[in-house]
Amino acid sequence: MDYTGTGRTNYVTVIDVDGLLKAIEPFNITFREHSERKGTYAFFDSRDQGWPAHGLDGEGKDIDLDIGQTIMPFVAEGEVLVMMDCGSEGDRYVGGWAQAWLRRGDSSDMVTVGLHSIYDLASQKFGVAVDQIGRAEY
C-alpha cells in the first residue's frame, strides 16, 4: 500500500509574497490567495504526501523544511498559522497532526498535537491503562 496524505493551513496575511515564493520553492508547497480577503493566503501540500520534511536547494542539496525560518518571517506579526496534515495507508492506519505557529518579531513559537495523542488522553480521562487500549492500525 502507498501512503496518501494532504496538508493545508488556514489563511494568514503574507507581508512579502515574492520573498515567500522564493523561500518555499525548494519544498513543493503551493499557496493561494483567499478569493474575498486580498493579501491573505493558505498553503497546501503539492505532492499528496502531506507536508514535506525536506526539499532540494538550487545546488541539489537536501535541506530541511523549518517552518519558523522558511514561512513565518513572511506572515504578519501576531498572526497564527495553523498547519494540518493527515493521511492513510489504505485501511492499515490513519495519521495526522496539527501545528499552530505565532510570529513575534524576528522569532516564532509553535505548539503541536497529533492524532495518536488520543490514546494518552483516553487513558487519563477513563482511567484505563494506555496499553489496554487497542490501536487503530494493523
pLDDT of residue 1: 64
Any idea where the domains of the chain sit in the sequence?
4-132
Question: pTM value?
Answer: 0.86
Quick check: 42 and 83 in contact, CB under 8 A? no
Q: Determine the pLDDT at residue 102.
A: 97
Q: What is the pLDDT of residues 22-66, one digit of tens each?
A: 999 999 898 999 999 999 999 998 778 888 888 888 888 999 999
Q: pLDDT value at position 99? A: 96
Query: In DSSP terms, which residues pair with 112 in a beta bridge?
Result: 99
Three-class DSSP category at 116: helix
Scanning the chain, the segments in alpha helix (DSSP H) are: 17-24, 67-70, 118-126
